[in-house]
Structures are given as C-alpha cells and as structure tokens.
Chains A and B, each alone.
Chain A
Amino acid sequence: GQQVMQIPQYQHVQEGEDFTTYCNSSTTLSNIQWYKQRPGGHPVFLIQLVKSGEVKKQKRLTFQFGEAKKNSSLHITATQTTDVGTYFCAVSGGYNKLIFGAGTRLAVHP
C-alpha cells in the first residue's frame, strides 16, 4: 500500500531558529495533507497540497509540494515555543483514507 517516509523523527531548535520536516514517497501522490499534534492533544489539520510545485504559506509556515508530486516539506521560519508539537504529513490510502507519516517531533527551547 501507499507509504510515505518522513524525516527527521525529532528536531530540537532554539527559539528563533528555522525548522523543516520532509516527506517522501516512491510513487506519485494525488495530494498531501499536513497536521500538527500538540503534546497531549489531537491532530489538527493544517493544509492540503494538490498541485505540482504548489507553495502555500500560513504566517511563518511554508508548505511545498514537489514538481513530481513525490515529496513535500513544511518549513517554519523563526520558531516560537507555541510551535512545539509533532508534525505529520498524510497521504491518500484510497477512499478518503489517510496514511500518516511517522511524524517529526519539534522541541523549541527559549
């Protein structure tokens, strides 16, 4: 079935530094979604990317979808302590099912 590799598993940054998490697939993706899960919380939908080469921004967050639609990234500029959590990418598993990446756990130290 569909799988997606997400790296790194863990990232520790100082507040103000940038952060990036990457997702890669061996097959072409129809779309990719990104979620954030705060410690002790539930995943919250951030964005969906559909088009080849698409770039979307949400304040300090920049989401990219590769030209070949096989990879995606989430970049956070100037991290803040409120960015702490685990970021998951998710790809279609057929019939609206989602297959989640392993997640990247972000720790931000003030």
Chain B
Amino acid sequence: GAVVSQHPSRVICKSGTSVKIECRSLDFQATTMFWYRQFPKKSLMLMATSNEGSKATYEQGVEKDKFLINHASLTLSTLTVTSAHPEDSSFYICSASDYSGQGNQPQHFGDGTRLSIL
C-alpha cells in the first residue's frame, strides 16, 4: 500500500518553457502533499506544502509565481515550473501523507522528476 506515482520521470526542454509535474496517491487519500527539490548528493529541500482544496504553503525563499502548485483532489497535486531556466534544473520529488492532525505521519514518495533545462 501507500503508493505515490509521479509523472513524468524525466523532462528535457528549452529555456522559457513551462513544465508540469503530477503527483498522485494511488491507494490512499492524501490530505497533504509535499514538494521537494534535491540537488545531487544533497538532502531534500522542502519547497511547499500542498493541501487539498486550499492554497499551498511555500517555504521561505521559494517563489510562488515560479513554482505553481495545485491540489485539486485528495489524490492529485501538480507542480508547474513556469518559464523554466537552466538554474531550475534539478530533481523534483513529491510525497504524500494522510495527515490526521495528530503528529507526523510517514511520507510516501514518488519516484521523482529529473528536470533539465537547456
């Protein structure tokens, strides 16, 4: 159980393109989803928390207009990197949690999306 699907797994596109990444919880309802960015051999950096039916909460330093997050249902969150530039190239990974409001729940991660902007 607790499977999270992330698509696409890899994107290579030209500078200025907008890229949409989907994160789906396949066998549970994810009240909360998280978007991380990970540089090679580095830790996961939380970008934003996505809550179903409400606006995402962005971490300090993350541009809201650059990284658009939509959590339209309990099983789907999307991250759109708008007008991507080479410095946006990275590994983006989502996770989902069935947060019950009582302490931390395990997070279940998607396979990640490797984004390369030329």
Query: Which residues of A approach B to under 8 Å, CB–CB?
Result: 30-31, 33, 41-45, 48, 50, 88, 92-93, 95-103, 105
Contacting A31 at CB < 8 Å: which of B32, B99, B103? B103
B73 CB–A CB distance under 8 Å = no
Q: Can you list 6 pairs linking A and B with CB atoms under 8 Å apart? A: A43-B95, A43-B109, A45-B106, A97-B46, A98-B34, A103-B42
Instruction: List CB contacts (< 8 Å) of B29-61 with chain A.
Output: 32, 34, 41-44, 46, 49
In angstroms, Cα B116 to Cα A13, docked, is 34
B90 CB–A CB distance under 8 Å = no
Contacting B44 at CB < 8 Å: which of A33, A43, A45? A43
CB distance from B93 to the nearest CB of A (A): 6
CB distance from A52 to the nearest CB of B (A): 15
**Structural contact, B49 and A95, CB atoms closer than 8 A:** yes
Total cross-chain contacts (CB, 8 A) = 54
CB distance from A61 to the nearest CB of B (A): 16
In angstroms, Cα B46 to Cα A93, docked, is 10
Instruction: Find chain B residues with CB under 8 A from A101 CB.
Output: 43
A44's nearest neighbour on chain B, judged by CB, is B109
Instruction: Find chain A residues with CB under 8 A from B93 CB.
Output: 42-43
Instruction: Find chain B residues with CB under 8 A from A98 CB.
Output: 34, 46, 104, 107
Residues of B within 8 Å of A, CB-based: how many?
Answer: 22
CB distance from A27 to the nearest CB of B (A): 15
Q: What are the nearest 10 A-B pairs in CB distance? A: A45-B106, A42-B109, A96-B99, A100-B44, A100-B43, A43-B109, A102-B43, A92-B104, A103-B43, A42-B111
Instruction: List CB contacts (< 8 Å) of B58-104 with chain A.
Output: 93, 95, 97, 99, 103-104
**Structural contact, B104 and A96, CB atoms closer than 8 A:** yes
B18 CB–A CB distance under 8 Å = no
